Amino acid sequence: MSSSWFPFRIKRPTPDWRLVCLPPAGKGGSIFRTWQSVTPDAMEVLAVQLPGRETRMQDPPIEDVGSLADRISEALIPFLRQPIALFGHCYGAVVAFEVARRLPEDFVSLLGVSSCKAPHLLTPAGWSTGSRASAEIVREAYGDAVADLPEELLEELMPGLLADLVALDHYSCEHPVKLACPIHLFVWEQDHTVSPPDVLAWEQYTASRFTTTLLNANRDVLAPQGEAIAKAIFNDLAQDGEGTRLE
């Protein structure tokens, strides 16, 4: 059911657009829970809840980006009465891109991506190979985000945390695929995980305009940037402007 994919939805009477938000690896949709309160009235936020997270802890997580994008695309069908914009952060950017590929072009108004290399530059990190213990892999991959978690809680979250790592390891997009919609790239001033050339390479994935917004913030603290991100996407959609371009 669509409701399980978007448990934090706050309905807007007649939105002009819907902003579909995909969380980073290991996170749940609640990271976007406050965004609706800072989003223009003409935009409704749909925070995607992946299986195996938060409100869906009993659902088996999905270890394949393509299969996950298929399921999300199906869940979005009832919402295609209005055009949508997609936004994904880190791993969520890859999933958002694959969802954009699957939805009817006329209904995808924009793809927003954040803190993620262009798809053809992603390479396996080897998380899903070898004989190391799952806890060791997760602690190395997620670092501070899980460092202080009790063993019992880490064990409970383990399936979802590992699923994203496996999905990333097995994902490939060898050649840029041109989307009909514009792409809006969000670059974080405090982001040491990706290089400017690797994120700017997203420009190759649109046959439309390519816009960039620089966020003076830490990429690990996503939730408070909701207003800035939603406003930038809304202005891009509403004004069809060129935005501020990074060189």
- What does the pLDDT look like over 220-240, one tens digit per residue? 888 889 899 999 999 999 876
pLDDT in the model for residue 132? 67
**DSSP state at residue 246:** P
Q: Is the pLDDT of residue 137 over 60?
A: yes
| pLDDT tier for residue 172 given thresholds of 50, 70 and 90 | very high
pLDDT of 130 reads 61
Q: Residue 241: what pLDDT?
A: 41
- What pLDDT score was predicted for residue 244? 37
Burial of 9 (0-12, 13-18, 19+ CB in 10 A): middle
* Whether residue 1 has pLDDT greater than 70: no
Tell me the average pLDDT of the chain. Answer: 89
- The four Cα atoms 185, 188, 192, 197 give a dihedral, to 10 degrees, of 30
Of the listed ranges 65-79, 137-151, 153-167, 173-187, the one predicted with least confidence: 137-151
Lowest mean pLDDT among 14-18, 91-95, 135-139: 135-139
As a whole number, mean pLDDT of residues 169-198 equals: 92
Model pLDDT for residues 51-85, shown as the tens digit of each residue: 999 999 999 999 999 999 999 999 999 999 899 99
**pLDDT confidence of residue 129:** 63
CB neighbours of residue 134 within 10 Å = 14
Q: What is the pLDDT of residue 217?
A: 79
Task: Give the pair of three-digit tokens for residue 134.
Answer: 């799952």
Q: Return the pLDDT at 131.
A: 59
- In this prediction, what percent of the chain has a pLDDT beyond 70? 93
Neighbours of 178 (CB within 10 A): 9
Instruction: Enter the pTM of the model.
Output: 0.92
Give residue 243's pLDDT. Answer: 38
Distance CA 92, CA 126 (A): 19
For position 148, what pLDDT does the model report? 79
91-102 helix and 151-170 helix, angle to the nearest 10 degrees = 50
